[in-house]
Amino acid sequence: MRISLARASLERHAARTLLAMLGVAVAMAMLLDMVMLSSGMRESFRELLLSKGFQLRLSPKGTLPFDTDATISNASGIVAILRSNPGVELVSPVLGGSLHIPRGASTVTSLALGGVASQQGDYTLLSGRDALTPTSLVVNDDFLRMTGLHVGDTVRVATGYDPELRTYAGTRTLTITGRARFLYLSAGQSAAALPLGTLQAMRGPDLADRVSTFMVKARPGVNVDSLRRWIEMRVPRVTVISTATAMAQVDQRLSYFRQLAFILGAVSLVVGFLLVTTLMTVSVNERIGEIGVMRAIGVSRWHVVQQIVLEGIVISLVGAVLGLGLGLATARYLNGILSDFPGLPMAIDFFLFQPRDAWTALGLLTGAGILAGIYPAWRAASLPIATTLRQEAIA
């Protein structure tokens, strides 16, 4: 009976009910987007760091990986030390640099990463073969676009660049063997990966046996923090950054986004609450006489409260379901805009959808709908029956 009466009351003013549901949908969309924003970028960054399974990163003392041009000497010795620990499953040394490709009167410059193809954690091979030989090269689509080359082509790259004289010591011929997607690059940034020894030789004798960073993967069940402390004691001239440490730094830098998301999410929740409260109050005021008659014929106060609260829940739930689709659409659009932020890895999502986000937003809005119906419902159920009927009869 309560459900039938609630449905009849909502259908009686269909246009008003529909507008209220649309208003709740807009509030739900904003609330969902803010819930996604508050945790999306953090979780996206965490997934990016762990995408290849490496939990530790070693960089020159006092720096972040690739934060400066500083390098780590005696790379082969450090690799031997790291591999001596039974808790280490994989070590990936990486050297960063630049490739200069003469193209007529101009030069195309691209990021270069030197590493070991079987141990790398910087890219995912999309087609072709990996950089397994000293003259092989794996590039991304932006590199191919900028140079006009294709997989299978050979490319001459300059070596030994002198920034003072602006000249090159020589050239080296490499073959593009594969096409890859680099995980940590921003949109539009060209990149190439080649064997570590090749890049070290191209950059000159000063960088022999030097790397920019090491990535370390621990064996399953090994305590990563304990392994980090062991590395810090055995190799004191490097900074060891774990995924947990990196996430703590990210949390500090993203505090502004979380505060903004909390404020806007709270505003959207309050707007939804006030919208439903206003509608239910107006609806109850229009039905004072009807509610008085129901009370006079023996309908309990609790029955009246349940009916009106149920109406608020229906408006909130239907509006929330509509807002779910709207929120996902707007999140995708906004994420496309924010993903072009300079220097931000292309794989980072500001709005990362997770099922718990939808349930959180739905639960908050449903709770707001319940609270929104309680005040007008209790007010209606508490009206004195005789006085209410007399006033309605006179009116």
| Count of structural domains within the chain | 2
State whether 33 and 95 are in the same domain: no
| Residue 22 predicted with pLDDT over 60 | yes
State whether 209 and 84 are in the same domain: yes
Q: Which of 208, 236, 264 marks a domain boundary?
A: 236
Could you tell me if residue 44 is inside a domain?
yes
Q: Average of pLDDT values for 237-242? A: 87
Residues in Cβ contact with 315 at an 8 Å cutoff, skipping those fewer than 6 apart: 10, 17, 20, 21, 24, 276, 279, 369
- Token duo for residue 202: 């191209």
State whether 332 and 293 are in the same domain: yes
Is the CA virtual torsion 129, 131, 137, 138 positive or negative? positive
Q: In the prediction, which pLDDT does 63 show?
A: 76
Q: Is 232 in contact with 240 (CB distance < 8 Å)? A: yes
183 — pLDDT class (breaks 50, 70, 90): confident
Q: What residues pair up with 57 in beta bridges, in sequence order? A: 215, 241
| Residue 1 predicted with pLDDT over 60 | no
Could you tell me if residue 190 is inside a domain?
yes
Q: In the prediction, which pLDDT does 386 show?
A: 60
What share of the chain has pLDDT > 90, as a percent? 14
- Which one, of 61, 178, 56, lies nearest residue 121 by Cα? 56
Cα distances (angstroms) measured from residue 179 to each of 122, 124, 182, 199, 224: 13, 9, 10, 18, 33
* Element at 340 (helix H, strand E): none
State whether 369 and 279 are in the same domain: yes
What's phi and psi for 22, nearest 5 deg?
-65, -40
Q: Average of pLDDT values for 318-347? A: 76
State whether 18 and 98 are in the same domain: no
| Residue 179 predicted with pLDDT over 90 | yes
State whether 9 and 124 are in the same domain: no
Cα 26 to its chain centre, rounded Å, is 22
State whether 202 and 232 are in the same domain: yes
State whether 130 and 210 are in the same domain: yes
State whether 166 and 92 are in the same domain: yes
Mark 355-369 as b/e (b = at least 16 C-beta within 10 Å). Answer: eebbebbbebbeebb
d(CA 275, CA 98) in angstroms, rounded, equals 58
State whether 98 and 219 are in the same domain: yes
| Residue 138 predicted with pLDDT over 90 | yes
State whether 26 and 139 are in the same domain: no
Pairing mode, strands 136-139 and 167-182: parallel
State whether 68 and 15 are in the same domain: no
Could you tell me if residue 246 is inside a domain?
no
CB atoms within 10 A of CB 264: 16
d(CA 350, CA 183) in angstroms, rounded, equals 16
Q: Which of 236, 264, 286 marks a domain boundary?
A: 236
Q: Which of 187, 209, 236 marks a domain boundary?
A: 236
To the nearest whole number, what is the mean pLDDT of the chain? 79
Domain containing residue 20: 2-48+253-394
